[in-house]
Amino acid sequence: MEKSSPSAAEKRIIVGKAGAPHGVGGEMKIIPMTDFPDRFEGMKHCYIGDRFVDIAGVRYQKNHVLMTFEGISSREAAAALTGAFLSVDRSEAVPLKEGEYYTSDILGLAVSDTDGNPLGMVTDVIRTGSNDVYVVSQPGRREDVLVPALKKVVREISIEKGKMVVAMPEVVE
């Protein structure tokens, strides 16, 4: 069973990335890209890239999830999917608390300072352990702006409006 459409892909949440095959029977090593790694246990299906697949098995090994999927029964079939993202429909996403956002919602936001000056667009999120850091890039600018994801710095996030307002600390040179 396969489903796919560009508009549907925008309504998905990425939860992992397909790594190398594990063994010869089609099992795949999945790199979790979620704050809720136990979510894989209850999943019945997902998308690998744009391919809708039913999940046949899930088990954990160190920092990875080993998964098998219906219709992927050989090492070669699994290898062909290496590097593809695993996603679920937004309706199946783990609910977040007030003021929490999925990384996929933050990526692409237009960033400006509190005076309305454009700083660029969020192109990446770095997880440092203590707090995330948003990487803000702007065409024509050689260096990215690193914005710490702290309440005193990030003043507003509006997913609906596609924007983020920040109060950057003064830089001393």
> Do residues 86 and 119 share a domain?
no
Check which CATH number belongs to the domain holding 118 and give it. 2.30.30.240
> Do residues 27 and 76 share a domain?
yes
> Do residues 128 and 80 share a domain?
no
Mean pLDDT in residue range 13-34: 92
Share of the chain above pLDDT 70, in %: 92
Decide if 93 contacts 102 (C-beta within 8 A): yes
Q: For residue 24, what are its two tokens?
A: 């010869």
Average pLDDT, the chain: 88
Q: How many domains does the chain have?
A: 2
52-79 pLDDT tens trace: 999 999 999 988 999 999 999 999 999 9
> Do residues 148 and 73 share a domain?
no
* Cα 136 to Cα 141: distance, rounded to the nearest angstrom: 10
> Do residues 109 and 150 share a domain?
yes
> Do residues 86 and 111 share a domain?
no
Give pLDDT, residue 173: 47
Give pLDDT, residue 130: 86
The length of the chain, given as a count of residues: 173
Decide if 149 contacts 128 (C-beta within 8 A): no
> Do residues 66 and 111 share a domain?
no
> Do residues 74 and 116 share a domain?
no
> Do residues 107 and 49 share a domain?
no
Query: How far, CA to CA in Å, does 30 sit from each of 18, 35, 64, 97, 144?
Result: 5, 14, 6, 26, 30
> Do residues 28 and 47 share a domain?
yes
Give pLDDT, residue 8: 54
Is the confidence at residue 93, as pLDDT, over 90? no
Give pLDDT, residue 122: 95
Stretch (H or E) spanning 144: none
Q: Which domain holds residue 112?
A: 103-166
Check which CATH number belongs to the domain holding 11 and give it. 2.40.30.60
121-151 pLDDT tens trace: 999 888 888 899 999 999 888 899 999 999 9
27 within a domain of the structure (yes/no): yes
